[in-house]
């Protein structure tokens, strides 16, 4: 849910929504386009840094207008994700 008077979510809003939904923090770096933020749970980033990479899965996104969380299958959304811009938390 957007704060009153706010038109679009910020990346920090998306991180908070994802953390509340999944019960765990998200990494402070992500990706964005005009319609969505792509967020990654911090544990996934930590696992990747230790060489523990899982195949498959989906990208987790937060809709910028509504705050709705979606899971995007990798191959179905590859072109869209490749066109996204890097974003970082202001915190």
SS3 at position 87: strand
Per-residue pLDDT in tens (0 to 9) along the chain, 91 residues:
555 666 789 999 999 999 999 999 999 999 999 999 999 989 888 888 888 876 667 889 999 999 999 999 888 898 999 999 999 999 8
Confidence (pLDDT) at 1: 54
Residue carrying structure tokens 């890097």: 86
Confidence (pLDDT) at 66: 94
* pTM passes above 0.85: no
Confidence (pLDDT) at 5: 62
Two structure tokens written together for 46: 């930590």
Shortest CA distance to 59 belongs to which of 75, 73, 44, 43?
A: 73
- Hey, which residues does 38 pair with through a beta bridge? 31, 61
Confidence (pLDDT) at 17: 96
């Amino acid at each position: 849910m957007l704060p009153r008077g706010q038109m679009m979510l910020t990346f920090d809003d998306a991180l908070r929504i994802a953390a509340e939904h999944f019960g765990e923090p998200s990494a402070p770096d992500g990706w964005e386009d005009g319609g969505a933020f792509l967020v990654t749970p911090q544990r996934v980033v930590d696992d990747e840094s230790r060489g523990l990479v899982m195949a498959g899965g989906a990208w987790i996104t937060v809709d910028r207008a509504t705050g709705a969380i979606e899971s995007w299958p990798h191959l179905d959304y590859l072109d869209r994700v490749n066109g996204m811009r890097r974003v970082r938390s202001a915190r």
